[in-house]
Amino acid sequence: MIYLHALSAVLVSTFLGFLFLQLLDRERKLGVMEGLGLSYGLGMGVIAIIMTFLALAGIHFNIFNILAPFILMIALAGIFNKIFPMSRKEHLTGKPERMKMSKLELFFLGAVIFEIAFVFFVSLIKPMESWDAVGHWGAKAKTIYFLKGLPLDLFSRPCIEYTVITADYPWLWPFSQDYIYNFIGFFDDFASKILGPFFFASCLVVFYNILRRVKLKRLYALIFTFFLASIPHFNNFASNGYADLILGYYYCVSFLYLYLWFRNNDRIYLFLSIIFTAMTCYVKCEALLLTLISVLTFLSFVLCSKSENRGSAFKAFIFYIFMVVLLSLPMFLLKHFTSANITNQAVSIKLFSEFRLQNLFRISPIIYAYQKQLFGVKYWNLTGVLFLISAFLAYRRKILFNKEFRFLTIAIGLIFLAHISFFMISKDVRQYLAPLSRMFLHFLPLVVFFIAIIFQHEETRGKQS
């Protein structure tokens, strides 16, 4: 019965997210399954933003205060669409034709469904029990549930001040758990764990649909979706209550729709990228670095645009930055007020002043840690090996920086460069290399997507030759 109540909470937030998405997608570019995958993350993200405003205003958290603004927002968007209607043209660009599935396609679809079902099973048979899930995220969700809100002086209170770590972390994951507790009317450590598998499933649904939008055959799209779903470290983090897979979902959705906008210039892709980029900032501190990388990649798109298109691309770039800042600003304000001048040492900009030339000798442990991950079949299956092969093939074919691949190459390259730079300036390189495997989760779908489109290019090239 507890799980049914928790499922009802998820269905309500997803339904509201779906309504909001339908109002946003006025040209009907998105399919139903793709829309559902986006609606889950969109619904939880909007709820987190609403709860952020409630916390800043000092208003108690309850199910009415959480959902009423969401419903009002949808109503206002509906009124806006009625006042300013658009011509209802059906755009078939990027939508794959529907054909009966082959036996092989059905096999891989069944394999993906099995992976999702297994993640749900593993997640729901035990409560929050992993260290960060309990100490960082679950404790915060439990605290704000029993306090009926989030007091801005929470981490300044004597009983809490010296017991809570990562007090400056954004609040989307604890807020999502608290939403479940408010919906079912009581605290239950099992109920909130249902959220993780839904993020996992939504990530796979959106990933598959984006592969289809870049013209990957259905069989190959299913194979690469299964490949992503079966990566042990990826599906383990869908069930343990950590926020890293959630950050990976929001960031990769935001970047891949930006990548689609680079290719097709469809307005809905830019809107989705803006919304999900802003929501990424509500998940973890590392999202700020990932957002900066998206901004730099967008800037490279502007600079690489043809001279006649550069003006409109630059306007879209300014709009992108303005809207992301506007939507993420409440998170920065709440982070500032609640953290009470507590900063996360791991991402502090002050570390740059502590860089010394001898830090360059850290390259050996850094390379060792990276090769351990890239060739770590136990965690990643063959992802690292296939990524290196794909990058080598792209380099040999001289397509690594062509129009189709350049922005993925820039984004993934900047992520690796940023991480290595951070390890170079950190106080204790071995300590900060320890969570490297979790940092890889933040952009893992991007890496698998890169492998998939290189495979697509090689297959097309083989047929032409």
Rounded to whole angstroms, how far apart are CA atoms 128 and 330?
A: 28
Q: Which long-range contacts (CB under 8 A, 24 or more apart) does 101-109 make?
A: 101/218, 102/219, 104/219, 105/218, 105/219, 105/222, 108/219, 108/222, 108/223, 108/225, 108/226, 109/222
Q: Mean pLDDT, to the nearest integer, of 401-414?
A: 93
Compute the Cα dihedral for 254, 258, 259, 264 and give only its sign: positive
**What's residue 94's pLDDT?**
47
Please give the C-alpha separations between residue 246 and each of 159, 234, 283, 334, 455, in angstroms, as whole numbers.
Answer: 30, 11, 7, 20, 27
Residues 53-86: tens digit of each pLDDT:
999 999 999 999 999 999 999 999 899 888 877 6
pLDDT band at 272; cut points 50, 70, 90 = very high
Q: What is the model's pLDDT at position 98? A: 66
Total Cβ atoms within 10 A of residue 438: 19
Q: Which pLDDT belongs to residue 355?
A: 61
Tell me the mean pLDDT in the region 382-399: 94
Select from 229, 211, 226, 170 the least CA-distant residue to 45.
170
Of the pLDDT bands very low, low, confident and very high (cuts 50, 70, 90), residue 95 is low
User: 297: number of CA atoms within 13 Å, CB side?
Assistant: 27
- Provide the pLDDT for residue 362: 80
Give the pLDDT mean for 384-393: 95
Range from 92-96, 206-210, 261-265, 355-359 that averages highest in pLDDT: 206-210
Nearest Cα neighbor of 181 from 308, 9, 58 is 9
Q: Report how far residue 101's alpha carbon sits from residue 98's, in angstroms, rounded to the nearest whole number.
A: 9
Residue 352 has pLDDT above 60, yes or no: no
pLDDT at position 90 is 47
- CA separation for the pair 399, 406 (Å, rounded): 8
Query: Which of 74-78, 124-128, 295-299, 306-310 has the weakest average pLDDT?
Result: 124-128
- Quickly state the pLDDT bin for 189 (edges 50, 70, 90): confident
pLDDT for position 351 = 58
How confident is the model over 151-175, as a mean pLDDT?
79
DSSP 137: I
The answer to whether residues 51 and 217 touch, using CB atoms and an 8 Å cutoff, is: no
Q: Is the dihedral of CA 233, 234, 236, 240 positive or negative?
A: positive
pLDDT at residue 206 is higher than 60: yes
pLDDT of 118 strictly over 70:
yes
Residues of the chain with pLDDT > 90: what percent? 68
Check residue 307 and give its pLDDT: 87
List pLDDT tens digits, range 329-340. 999 999 888 875
Determine contact, residues 229/204, Cβ cutoff 8 Å. Answer: yes
Q: Does the pLDDT at position 345 exceed 80?
A: no
pLDDT of 128 higher than 90: no
pLDDT confidence tier of residue 149, bands split at 50, 70 and 90: very high
Other residues' Cβ atoms within 10 Å of the Cβ of residue 443: 23
Residue 295 has pLDDT above 50, yes or no: yes
